[in-house]
Structure 1
């Protein structure tokens, strides 16, 4: 069946056809809200597969790490057609399309949840190697409480822009403290290098940073917020890096992100928090101080994986 597949670049006009391929994440898929942004992003390449004129598969990737890595996102195949070689054919078309603009392409990375079918296969038989996994914790904001919090900014916690992020990544000592393995923002996996700043900027993240006065670089805390509108709530992803010793500081960070989320959406807001183990307890205490309600996600961890692009 893969031989019958017609592959081509995806366009804005294909949005509904791609959304209709399948219902993902229990109906809480990001694709309906994010498809247009992804297709218009200069660092993203989207392709689709057609059978007899019907769109049955989609694959996409961001070109990151100075053109050496394709970070796949949003890929899907229509139910009933999975396991027939369609995705493999489409993925190779995507890889070759990206190679035309990034001849130094070497790796594919992506992040997924632990319900991904790859984890049903013995590790020795998987095409991908695991980079790391991060717990996912969900907190539901109580708008009536957040709206009553003082909005006066804490002088030690501030919103920062791309110029400041570029400066942080240029400072190798600070960058290695904050991002010792990878920099993951909104399930996107990056090397913490300056070459990725423009790619990150295309996500339009809301970034807060703090440095406790009189302390060294190890007291830095930085939180990236990126969101999308799901069917019944605003999913606000928070990726947290840095110092785990100051709960009050974490509270101030989360307040700013809560105010930002409330400015974006009038409905229910769910923080999805991704952080190293050392940060989980302080973040949980901070969320309790903000009177959030513990929520649930259908998976417990975000997992980042990698493979050589020539292995397919």
Structure 2
């Protein structure tokens, strides 16, 4: 029985490798009941039906799917069974062509635990090697617990704590006003930090991050992580980032200690009038982290109406004090206890 199963798995791998030796991906490739196709706009509804409840309702794909299909350095692949979409994975080439970032992996609930994800990952890996032979490294971001096999397979680039809270935008806006956030002297900001955090324009961003080494000690492993996407400090990556709707903050241009990126809020399928706000925070000075966190909240709650799921990624050592600040000073609800975001990579083989 085991021998027969091994023979099937070997046959599947051979079928994948042979098919991907072709310079172009076939419109549909079949093996063991699975077909692989490049995703199109017409597949959107089927993908959303398969993705119900994924990521606790914080699925970014509904708002990014169309733009993903337009990116020339990205491929979105679907796995089908009997014509029905059962899995998706996206790969995007970054870091000047040296790294492929794996994103969006999902498998339909009824097909989980059957090895579909592994076959899809293998398929996409071979496809990348065929389409982008200059790629040397696969990188991905995870929020699950890494096991012994993961440590054997991957190198850890960095870890950040995940602080997830929820609130009504109107209520938080009122609370921020009561606390004097935005005023020169606020009761929730260390009085020794009088200067407000600086919002950066494109020119200043490029100068600070690319033309100097000032950000290297601030960023984890000299890596910009923006909404789960890790980027090396390269001009090609900065060109990608500057096309996005992001607020960039830093405490000081001459001697930065804390920097942050806030992705503009977007709707998520938790329910009606639910939004997701993502804040990536870098640096260890708690008072400066708090200051920039409040600055991002103030700006974006001023235009939102409804429920907000706000996820901040920060130094693990700051998680507990910032969670306490969110609950007892801001009066927002903590959604879950401490978890970690791990950026990992492995060599393409």
TM-score bracket, shorter-length normalisation:
0.7 to 0.9
The aligned residue for residue 224 of structure 1 is 261
Q: Aligned equivalents of 1:262 and 1:241: distance in 2?
A: 22
- Report the Cα distance in structure 2 between the residues aligned to 1:147 and 1:41, rounded to whole angstroms: 41
Could you say which residue in structure 1 is the equivalent of 2:217?
A: 177
* Cα shift readout 1:75-96 (whole Å, capped 9, x = no counterpart): 1122232344433333344334
Cα 1:103–1:168 change in 2 (3 A) is farther
Change (3 A) 1:255 1:122: closer
Residue of structure 1 in register with 2:35 after alignment: 6
Q: What is the deviation of 1:281?
A: 6.0
Greater shift, 223-232 or 89-98, is seen at: 89-98
The reply on whether 1:303 has 2:342 as its aligned counterpart is yes
| Aligned equivalents of 1:299, 1:276: Cα separation in 2 | 12
Rg larger in 1 or in 2?
2
Correspondences of 1:204-215 after superposition (within 5 Å): 204-211=245-252
Provide the C-alpha distance between the structure 2 equivalents of 1:29 and 1:76, rounded to a whole number of angstroms. Answer: 11
Q: Work out which of the residue numbers 305, 309, 312 in structure 2 matches 1:266.
A: 305
Q: CA 1:124/1:95 → structure 2, altered by over 3 Å: closer, same or farther?
A: closer
Q: 1:106 aligned to 2:136?
A: yes
Matches within 5 A, 1:144-223: 144-146=174-176, 149=180, 151=182, 156-181=196-221, 182-211=223-252, 217=255, 219-223=256-260
Instruction: Write out per-residue CA displacement over residues 191-234 of structure 1, whole angstroms, 9 at most, x where no aligned residue.
Output: 2233211222344222122218xxx52x4321111243221432
Q: Secondary structure at the match of 2:216?
A: helix
Secondary structure (helix, strand or coil) at the match of 2:251 reads strand
Gaps of 5+ in 2: 1-11, 13-30, 185-193
257-266 or 278-287: bigger deviation: 278-287
Q: 1:251 deviation in Å?
A: 4.2
Aligned equivalent of 1:254: 293
Deviation for aligned residue 1:189: 1.5
Residue number in structure 2 paired with 1:129: 155
Q: Please state if 1:50 is matched with 2:87.
A: no
* Equivalent residue pairs, number: 300
- Aligned equivalents of 1:242, 1:286: Cα separation in 2: 17
> Normalising by the residue count of structure 2, what TM-score does the alignment of the two structures yield?
0.74
Aligned-partner Cα distance in 1 for 2:246–2:50: 28
TM-score by length of 1: 0.82
Matched residue SS, 2:214: helix
Aligned pair partner of 1:21 in 50, 59, 81 = 50
The structure-2 alpha-carbon separation of the partners of 1:161 and 1:103, relative to structure 1 and needing over 3 Å to count, comes to: farther
Q: Does 1:77 align with 2:115?
A: no
2-side partners of 1:9 and 1:138: how far apart?
34
Equivalent in 86, 95, 101 of residue 125 of structure 2 = 95
List alignment gaps of at least 5 residues for structure 1. none
Q: Is the 8 A contact 1:49 1:56 kept in 2?
A: yes
When the two chains are superposed, the root-mean-square deviation of aligned CA atoms in Å is: 3.1
Instruction: Name the CA distance, whole Å, in 2 between partners of 1:63 and 1:164.
Output: 26
Specify the SS of the correspondent of 1:104: coil
The aligned residue for residue 279 of structure 2 is: 238
Report Cα offsets for 1:222-268 as digits up to 9, x if no partner: 111124322143221211113506x1x44442233113322553112
